[in-house]
A and B are shown apart, each in its own frame.
Chain A
Amino acid sequence: MSEVFRSASGQLLAVDGLSVDYGLKGISSRALHEVSFDLQAGEAVALVGESGSGKTTTAMAIAGLLSTDARVTSGEVRYRGARLQIDDDAAMRPHRWTETAVVFQGAMNALNPVQRIAKQIAEPCMLNGMPREAAMTRAKELLELVGIPPDRGTAYPHQLSGGMRQRVMIAMALACRPSIIIGDEPTTALDVINQAQILKLLVELRSKFNLALLLITHDLSVVAETCDRVMIMYAGRIVEDGTVAEIFAAPKHPYTRLLIESIPNPAKRQRVLRPIPGDPPSLITRPPGCPFHTRCPSSMSICATQAPALESTGQRRVACHLHSSQMKSDGVLVHA
């Protein structure tokens, strides 16, 4: 069961207890550990975490694009109530692009360098049975929609700037009128002005087509501009989930708080660096207990042995012993 209860009518996507392992040279390591969340129609949710946190694995699992060395060990993904066969490429084909589309990070790598951009945008439509002529017309519409003059459709990717290439990626994602767009670090490779343009475009398109947006990012500062809700991931788990306002105004998990504090913020006028000590754990060096306890300033003895459960209060969820209901009722907790 999903831990977040909402009206079933608006629910588009449900991820339920999803665990994914990667097999590396015979050693199996867990990339995702019982990840559960849901996505409503038209909702924009950010999935934030550092490298190795599992945010990209989550996105790829939903799109059915897990690599061949990944194995879904538990849980499921449901789309409009029906279970998706996320580890079966052929079964996912009719779903991909038409229901869930992905905007990848490196547009230069994701685009075909020797094909004109209009043709590339038309391709997902043609794969879904649209005749060539109609698909090319649709490609022109889509270019216009993302702010590229349609006559640039004859350009090759290398003739476009990084920002324009990212617009092409967005046009491709919209080609088959999906309900969900997954943006995997869509602005990370861009500089700040291009980033602002792409973020604004995503916000516009989202409201225009009532798209649900799952934004994968390591950058908390872009979240407030684009999303309603944010989930923080660490070492393969969701550690906190709440509305953007709740998370920024009153983060509960120490990791979330430190993450927010580590971002330079001129508005605070304090020129102080606040690093989080240590490194994010890799897939094979996950500490026992709470995965964050080795870097956590509020770590207690229980944190080293017992992983905290992701507990929900209303629509807010947090996985931290400082906020666990059991700790509070037992009176063990003396400070928060």
Chain B
Amino acid sequence: MDSILGRSKGAVHAIDGVDLTIGRGEIVALVGESGSGKTTVGRVITKLVQPTGGRLVFDGIDMTSVQGFSALRPYRHRVQMIFQDAYQALNPRHTIFDAVAEPLRSLKLVSSESQLTERVSEALSAAGLNPPQEYFTRFPHELSGGQRQRVVVAGALVVKPDLIVADEPVSMLDVSIRAQILQALIDMRAKQNLALLFITHDLPLAWLIADRIAVMYLGRVVEIGSADDIIFNPKHPYTMALRDATPQLPADGRPSGIKALQGDVPSAARVPKGCRFHPRCPLALDRCKVEDPPALEVGKEHLAACWQAN
């Protein structure tokens, strides 16, 4: 899967050759720094960005070239997106009821008002807003940040999708209420076999919620494996760098001594030759400067794109 974010002069590969599968009812976390392309992957899957190469297959149907509102209607019904910023995702002039009812109305999924009310109530309460009736006539500005994000979650759950792409859904929320939102998503997986692509830069959070973790760097998946393998047995030096840069909660209060990788992610307009991580890699060899490593199998369902992963 490739995607180009167009500019008038030239083009930039925002993501480049990404292979990713998400099983029914599976939670996959996509982790990386800003500029890694993780959000673009989410936007390709939700058909907000048209890829320039590769294929997007959903439930056996090739969706790559499907475009247009009516052609995409069945797909939108089954694949929903949750954005990071609930302040911007909600129309300030719409009541909470209307915000959550909107996808049901526009996708024409209900036939009567009573059915509409029932579905909206169900979704609000699944997202943790109880009793749901209390929120019907309220406006976004009357709610706290956490409640607003729960409304956004309800808006995604209301169509009973098969897949939700959640782009940093809790990173703007207070720590104490993050878990409530995540619990709502996990509960829906258990109840409706919902699959979730969870986009985050927070590795411990990814480990907590996901079955598998894919680590992205500069438009590519550099490592993918089970959540435990990625955290406890990482094979790609970039994954190790991410883990080592993450502050740990020390039981004894002593700092764990975080290690910071030098430099920034290079611009996608100037992707380094060879392995794209080699200029920042502490283990880089001469080979890494010229030859781009393919994804190598390093364990059971565990792939890493590094010449030294084995």
**A binding-site residues for B, Cβ under 8 Å:** 50-51, 161-164, 191-197, 199-200, 218-222, 224-226, 243-249, 258-260, 262-267, 271, 273-277, 279-280, 282
Contact = CB atoms under 8 A, between A and B. Distances in A.
B11 interface: no
Given A224-B249, A249-B252, A271 B207 contact: yes
Interface string B15-35: 000000000000000000110
B264 A279 contact: no
Contact of A263 (B180, B249, B252): B249
A265 B258 contact: no
B231 interface: yes
B34 A275 contact: no
22 contacts: A50-B175, A50-B176, A192-B33, A192-B203, A193-B242, A194-B33, A194-B264, A199-B260, A218-B174, A221-B247, A224-B250, A225-B257, A245-B253, A248-B252, A258-B176, A259-B176, A262-B179, A263-B175, A264-B202, A266-B208, A266-B231, A273-B186
Interface stretch (B44-52, B93-101, B144-152, B283-291): B144-152
B248 interface: yes
- Tell me what chain A mostly uses at the interface: helix, strand, loop, or mixed: helix
A220 B232 CA distance: 22
A160 to B, nearest CB: 9
Given A193-B241, A200-B260, A273 B175 contact: no
A192 B182 contact: no
Nearest to B260: A196
B251 interface: yes
A276 B177 contact: yes
A304 B257 CA distance: 42
B245 interface: yes
B178 A262 contact: yes
B249 A221 contact: yes
A280 B176 CA distance: 8
Contacts of B232: 266
B34 A225 contact: no
Given A245-B253, A273-B208, A267 B248 contact: yes
B201 interface: yes
B250 A248 contact: yes
Contact of A249 (B176, B251, B257): B251
B260 A197 contact: yes
Contacts of A193: 33, 241-242, 245, 260-261
Contact of A243 (B145, B183, B253, B258): B253
Nearest to A230: B253
Contacts of A196: 244-247, 258-261
Given A51-B174, A218-B174, A274 B179 contact: yes
Contacts of B10: none
Contacts of A271: 207-208, 227
Given A266-B232, A276-B177, 16 more contacts: A51-B174, A192-B203, A192-B245, A193-B242, A194-B264, A196-B261, A219-B247, A224-B256, A225-B258, A245-B252, A248-B249, A262-B176, A266-B231, A271-B207, A273-B183, A275-B177
A181 B261 CA distance: 25
B300 interface: no
Interface string B250-273: 111111111111101000000000
Given A51-B174, A191-B33, A245-B252, A225 B144 contact: no
B204 interface: yes
Contact of B204 (A200, A247, A264): A264
A244 B253 contact: yes
B298 interface: no
B174 A280 contact: yes
Contact of A264 (B176, B207, B245, B256): B207
Contact of A273 (B34, B179, B258): B179
Interface string B166-190: 0000000011111110110010000
A185 to B, nearest CB: 12
B205 interface: yes
Among all A-B residue pairs, the 8 with the closest Cβ atoms:
A245-B253, A275-B179, A196-B260, A276-B176, A196-B245, A264-B208, A50-B174, A248-B253
B127 to A, nearest CB: 13
A29 B129 CA distance: 26
A279 to B, nearest CB: 5
Most chain B CB within a 10 A radius of its CB, from A164, A222, A276: A276
B247 A265 contact: no
Contacts of B179: 262, 273-276
Contacts of A258: 176
A200 B258 contact: yes
A275 B176 contact: yes
A71 B124 CA distance: 39
A51 B260 CA distance: 28
A224 B245 contact: no
Contacts of B147: 279
B24 to A, nearest CB: 21
Of A191, A197, A271, A277, chain B has the most CB atoms within 10 Å of the CB of: A191
A265 B253 contact: no
Contacts of A276: 176-177, 179
